[in-house]
């Protein structure tokens, strides 16, 4: 996968592709479990795809603690050096 520059739009694109949800259903307040398909296994897949897409690496603590779109988005932005 080619590394993508972080933006809220590129994050959303990865999220909707990995979880196979409509872009219209994407919201900042979503958290793991809000969609039937966003379970613990899909969460790990989402994290792996975010790492690949943005060239970042989450710490183990991140895997356990980042449970919402807002938290994931903020951490990806931080790790990629993007300003939000």
pLDDT one digit per residue (tens) for the chain, 84 residues:
668 899 999 999 999 999 999 999 999 999 999 999 999 999 999 999 999 999 999 999 998 899 999 999 999 999 999 865
Architecture per CATH, domain 8-80, reads as: Orthogonal Bundle (1.10)
CA 54-59-19 angle, to 5 degrees, is 50
Parse the chain into domains and list their residue ranges.
8-80
pLDDT for the residue 3: 81
CB 26 within 8 A of CB 16: yes
Cα–Cα distance, 77 to 56 (Å, whole number): 9
Cα–Cα distance, 79 to 5 (Å, whole number): 12
pLDDT for the residue 54: 96
């Amino acid at each position: 996968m080619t590394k993508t520059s972080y933006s809220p739009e590129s994050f959303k694109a990865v999220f909707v592709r990995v979880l196979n949800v409509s872009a219209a259903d994407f919201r900042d307040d979503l958290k793991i479990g809000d969609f039937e398909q966003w379970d613990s296994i899909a969460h790990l897949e989402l994290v792996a795809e975010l790492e690949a897409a943005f060239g970042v690496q989450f710490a183990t603590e991140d895997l356990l603690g980042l449970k919402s779109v807002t938290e994931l988005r903020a951490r990806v932005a931080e790790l990629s050096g993007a300003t939000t």
